[in-house]
Amino acid sequence: MELLLMLLAVFALAALAPLLYSFTRGNTGWLLAIFPFMLTAYLLLNIPQTMTGHSVQFDWMWIHGLDIHLAFYLDGLSLIFSILVTGIGGLILLFTGQYLGNAGLIGRFYSYLLLFMGSMLGLLWASDLITLFVFWELTSISSYLLIGYNHEDEQSRRAALQALLITAGGGLLLLAGFLLLAQIGGSFSFHILRSSGRSIQHHALYPLILILILFGAFTKSAQFPFHFWLPNAMKAPTPVSAFLHSATMVKAGIYLLARLNPVLGQTELWHMLISTTGAVTMLMGAILAIRQVDLKKILAYSTISALGTLVLLMGLDTKAAFKAALVFLLVHSFYKGALFMITGAIDHSTGSRDIRHLSNLKKSMPMLSVSLILASFSLAGLPPLLGFISKELVYEAKLQAPNAAWLITSFGVLANMLMVALAATIVLRPVFSGKSGVAVKHPPSAFLLVGPIILSALGLVVGLYPQMIAASLLEPALIAIQAEVTTIKLALWHGVNPVLLLSLLTFLGGVIIYILTRLYPDHFKKPLLSQVMKADTMYDDALDKFLKLAKQITLFIQHGNLRYYLFVTLLTISGLLLFYLLTEQMAITLPVLAEIRVSDMTLLVLILLSALMMVLTGSRILAIVALGVIGYAVALIFFSYGAPDLAMTQFSIETLSIIVFVLVLRKLPKFSRLSGRLSKTRDAFIALLLGGIITVISFLVMHQQPTKEASTFFTENSYTAAKGKNIVNVILVDFRALDTLGEITVLAIAAIGIVGMLKLKNQKGTSSP
Amino acid sequence: MQLFLPLIIGILFSAGFYLLLRRNLLKVILGIALVAHAANLLIFTMGGLKTTRPPIIAESKKMIEGLVTDPLPQALILTAIVIGFGVQVFALILARRLYQQTGISDINAVKNSDVNTEQVEKDGSL
């Protein structure tokens, strides 16, 4: 219950944020940050409980018939992710208050941020596939709103739409995968699916399910070839990039893989698909990152690389890999969140994010420089930071990879070398070089500094005392994934072993790459692997073609010609009914001619002649008279077959409509010969075809014995329940009174429309009579 | 008696569909009226038509005795007749308005009404 209440509170806060902003203005940021920090405290207090393997739960039957629950639980795995969401979220809110100042729609911005936070927590806590999916999509939507926050900028709008289309498109495939999974697993609940993991993996549909779910995870976590939306998403204000697009939302795909590993993991297919994608993304992101000059773009591409590493570790599917992934998840969120906020603060103070323009920050922004150095060291994986420990663990996991360990390791070493070079790029020149330094418009204030400092300091403190997260956070999370108790030992120094040698090699390689980038900067700006980089333009082409196709289809179907709509409709009905008549074997007993009454015969002839008259005549008044004759004839039929109410209604309505026709006739066009002989023949053929088919069908209907439950009920209860003797009337005003109310409403709306059309002034400004 | 109702229904539908496919606006509206009649009769035949006794409880009785016609289709048709009238009159006035405003009486001439709404709004007409 408390989980649901907390979620609702976040969403309520999101709804109230704009209102709060109109009162508190510049103080809104830190006021709103209080709540996420309280949530973080709650989550931290839950650590002892999750350490013993228990989890907080909430379960409410949402859609009974479909066995869909709104269900949440908090175990070790969701705990570690949620602490990141609430903790970093709080820091981001503090940061936002200063960063955006009082520009424009900032109340709305807070609202979106909190909406995202709630959605992300819902996603992490969900223990039901559908619950998870709903929140999954909500994070995509809030991401869309946040990327497009500067909605007057066309590029922002494009980036927002692109992110939404990619992630929500993947989301649709994910939903398909979930539905199939629930069908063969027998439930939407993780708890139940977990226990039927083996049987799911042997099912014929398992590959399809895995691929569909991977589409969801890979689009969300910006894996190759869907990576391109993430750098574009950097159009969003920096707090968004720090929060959603590096620390939390893009990790949702990783979370999903970890969560579903007990159900879908430990197979050859899982191993192959995920680790290949991860390895490619890891290396590609790193290569692309080194080619950028905009700090934010550098960070975006290095985030893609980090996400690739995490996905790769998920794919390795070993205990060492999960352990490394959890530590790397923490350290990446720490340093990347810090680096993004530092970028934002630098941008805010100097107006530039271009590393070629930044210099001598150590003098102008000493505190920020310290945290930049700490965070970059973590990025580079240098001791004594947590980044070092995590890099060692990642190497260890890669060396133990079940397949192609040497290939994966060399990919990893190369990517990490690039990370070292990257760290050098963003630290050395901007912080230390130059004498005068870049002009600082206004020094960063305390709230801009607090986030980066805390996050980068965490990297250092946890690096020095790694054991503090081992038992409290990592072990419960690992239990949640692997379902077995493990003790984790973390330390900076493991003695001289292959992993340490790899670390040394990485550092040396990184330094060499950095020197190369300084010596031959132009060489690193050339387009590389051009086909791979073109994913963004391919997206444009695909979107463009898709919209054109949609337009063509719409123009083809919705051509606007009434007659062709009718042709399609009438011919389709004819076809369907003919198919039915030809396939259903039914004995048509021709009725005996003797049953025909003379009065019936007269009416038949009358109607036939009038119908012919209506079709053939060139006079409008004759056509209307013929219509009147048919109307009265129909009334007579009703009368002679025991429906006096219908007959009376038909008489009065027919009279009324003839009057209206005659009144309006004066204002209506004369009949004219518009169609040629050919089209007349064609129309007559279609009309007679369908008319004939309906004749046959109504024959058949009359030979059926219809079920009359409703009629019997009405007949029996008419007097006893409703005190009425005319059963038709009782049905209309009592049993089905709501239908009659609907009928009256239709008439009223028609009347309003008619009055409107009659009163409407015409083009010349004169009121029509 | 069962041969003749389906025939009437078929005649009315055929004539109605043929008129619906005309290009003259008034003919289309007359077609709507005919199709409405035909549909009502089709529903009417669903009742079975085994007898001609109306479904009305006798003065002194509390229940129907013996066979009567099915009241349910009748109730449905009653609603349909009234709504059909509303639709017909609405269509008629719409056609009158269109003709008065634009002089158009040919359905084919208004086929692009969907596409040109912006143009119409700009002109301020209709």
Q: Nearest by CB to A641, from B12, B21, B49: name it.
A: B49
Alpha-carbon span A410 to A291, nearest angstrom: 21
- Of the residues A727, A731, A734, A747, the best mutation for testing chain B's interface (the one with the most B CB atoms within 10 Å of its CB) is A727
Q: With respect to CATH, is domain B4-123 assigned 1.10.287.3510?
A: yes
Alpha-carbon span A308 to A318, nearest angstrom: 17
pLDDT of residue A763: 54
Supply the mean pLDDT for chain A. Answer: 88
Q: Give me the mean pLDDT over the A11-36 stretch.
A: 88
Residue type at A100? L
pLDDT of residue A522: 76
A598 band by pLDDT with thresholds 50, 70 and 90:
confident
Rounded to a whole number, what is the distance in Å from the CA of A300 to chain B's nearest CA? 43
- Chain B residues near residue A726 by CB distance under 8 angstroms: 55-57
pLDDT of residue B126: 40
For residue A528, pLDDT beyond 50: yes
Q: Give the end-to-end CA distance of chain A in Å, rounded to a whole number.
A: 67
Which of A462, A256, A302, A455 is closest to A372 using CA atoms?
A455
Q: Determine, for residues B64 and A607 on separate chains, whether the beta-carbon distance falls below 8 Å.
A: no
Rounded to a whole number, what is the distance in Å from the CA of A643 to chain B's nearest CA? 6
Choice between A350 and A315, residue whose per-residue pLDDT is larger: A315
Residue type at A379? L
Alpha-carbon span B106 to B89, nearest angstrom: 19
The mean-pLDDT minimum among A158-172, A530-544, A653-667, B49-63 falls in A530-544
Q: Determine, for residues B82 and A747 on separate chains, whether the beta-carbon distance falls below 8 Å.
A: yes
For residue B125, pLDDT beyond 60: no
For residue A169, pLDDT beyond 90: yes
User: What token pair was written down for A262?
Assistant: 């007990």
A273 band by pLDDT with thresholds 50, 70 and 90:
very high
CA-nearest residue of chain A to B43? A698
Residue type at A717? N
CA-nearest residue of chain B to A625? B30
Q: How many Cβ pairs closer than 8 A exist between chain A and B?
A: 287
- Summarised one tens digit per residue, pLDDT across range B49-67 is 777 788 888 888 877 777 8
- Summarised one tens digit per residue, pLDDT across range A513-523 is 999 888 887 77
- Predicted model pTM: 0.75
Alpha-carbon span A638 to B37, nearest angstrom: 11
Q: Give me the mean pLDDT over the A440-462 stretch.
A: 86
- Of the residues A601, A660, A688, A698, the best mutation for testing chain B's interface (the one with the most B CB atoms within 10 Å of its CB) is A698
The mean-pLDDT minimum among A221-230, A520-529, A554-563, B49-58 falls in A520-529
A585 band by pLDDT with thresholds 50, 70 and 90:
low
Q: Determine, for residues A611 and B15 on separate chains, whether the beta-carbon distance falls below 8 Å.
A: yes
Alpha-carbon span A228 to A231, nearest angstrom: 6
For residue A645, pLDDT beyond 70: yes
pLDDT of residue A591: 54
Cβ burial of A739 (10 Å; 0-12, 13-18, 19+) is middle
- Chain A residues near residue B65 by CB distance under 8 angstroms: none
CA-nearest residue of chain A to B36? A631
Beta bridge partner(s), residue A58: A72
Q: Nearest by CB to A562, from B7, B100, B111: name it.
A: B111
Q: Is A90 helix (H, G, I), strand (E, B) or coil?
A: helix
Q: Determine, for residues B34 and A630 on separate chains, whether the beta-carbon distance falls below 8 Å.
A: yes
Q: Is A126 helix (H, G, I), strand (E, B) or coil?
A: strand
Is B60 in CB contact (< 8 Å) with chain A? no
- Summarised one tens digit per residue, pLDDT across range A195-221 is 887 888 889 999 999 999 999 999 999
Rounded to a whole number, what is the distance in Å from the CA of B39 to chain A's nearest CA? 10
CA-nearest residue of chain A to B39? A694
Give the distance, in angstroms, between the CA of residue A220 and the centroid of all CA atoms in the same chain. 10
Choice between A532 and A690, residue whose per-residue pLDDT is larger: A690
- Summarised one tens digit per residue, pLDDT across range B6-29 is 899 999 999 999 999 998 888 999
- Chain A residues near residue B4 by CB distance under 8 angstroms: 596, 600-601, 603-604
Q: Nearest by CB to B25, from A601, A669, A695: name it.
A: A669
Helices within A617-733 (DSSP H only): 620-640, 644-665, 677-703, 709-722, 727-730
pLDDT of residue A767: 43
pLDDT of residue B113: 53
Q: Give the end-to-end CA distance of chain B in Å, rounded to a whole number.
A: 50
With a pLDDT cut of 70, the percent of chain B lying above it is 86
Alpha-carbon span A170 to A219, nearest angstrom: 6
Q: Determine, for residues B111 and A687 on separate chains, whether the beta-carbon distance falls below 8 Å.
A: no
pLDDT of residue A590: 57
Query: Following DSSP, what letter does each residue of A201-236 receive, concatenated?
Result: HTSTTHHHHHHHHHHHHHHHTT-TTSTTHHHHGGGS
SS3 content of chain A, % helix, strand, coil (to 5): 75, 5, 20
Q: Give me the mean pLDDT over the A85-108 stretch.
A: 86
- Cα dihedral A554, A558, A559, A560 sign: negative
Q: Give me the mean pLDDT over the A101-108 stretch.
A: 77
Is B53 in CB contact (< 8 Å) with chain A? yes
Rounded to a whole number, what is the distance in Å from the CA of B118 to chain A's nearest CA? 15
Q: Determine, for residues A638 and B27 on separate chains, whether the beta-carbon distance falls below 8 Å.
A: no
CA atoms within 13 A on the CB side of A217: 29
Q: Determine, for residues B86 and A747 on separate chains, whether the beta-carbon distance falls below 8 Å.
A: yes
Q: Determine, for residues A669 and B27 on separate chains, whether the beta-carbon distance falls below 8 Å.
A: no
Query: Following DSSP, what letter does each residue of A441-485 receive, concatenated?
Result: SS---HHHHHHHHHHHHHHHHHHHSTHHHIIIIIHHHHHHHH-S-
Q: Determine, for residues A657 and B89 on separate chains, whether the beta-carbon distance falls below 8 Å.
A: yes
Choice between A626 and A713, residue whose per-residue pLDDT is larger: A626
For residue A49, pLDDT beyond 60: yes
Q: Nearest by CB to B92, from A612, A664, A768: name it.
A: A664
- Summarised one tens digit per residue, pLDDT across range A292-308 is 888 899 999 999 999 99
Rounded to a whole number, what is the distance in Å from the CA of A607 to chain B's nearest CA? 7
pLDDT of residue A91: 93
Rounded to a whole number, what is the distance in Å from the CA of B31 to chain A's nearest CA? 9
Q: Give me the mean pLDDT over the A259-263 stretch.
A: 92
Q: Which single residue is written with the structure tokens 């010969």?
A: A673
- Cα dihedral A753, A756, A758, A764 sign: negative
Query: Following DSSP, what letter does each residue of B92-112 receive, concatenated?
Result: HHHHHHHHHHH---BGGGGTT
For residue A437, pLDDT beyond 70: no
Q: Determine, for residues A630 and B82 on separate chains, whether the beta-carbon distance falls below 8 Å.
A: no
Rounded to a whole number, what is the distance in Å from the CA of B45 to chain A's nearest CA? 6
User: What token pair was written down for A655?
Assistant: 């009279």
- Summarised one tens digit per residue, pLDDT across range A326-357 is 999 999 999 999 999 999 998 888 888 888 88
A711 band by pLDDT with thresholds 50, 70 and 90:
confident
Spatial contact of A138 and A119, defined as CB atoms under 8 Å apart: yes
Q: Give me the mean pLDDT over the A695-715 stretch.
A: 80
- Chain A residues near residue B78 by CB distance under 8 angstroms: 645-646, 649, 728, 732
A138 band by pLDDT with thresholds 50, 70 and 90:
very high
Beta bridge partner(s), residue A68: A63
Is B92 in CB contact (< 8 Å) with chain A? yes
CA atoms within 13 A on the CB side of A688: 8
pLDDT of residue A484: 74
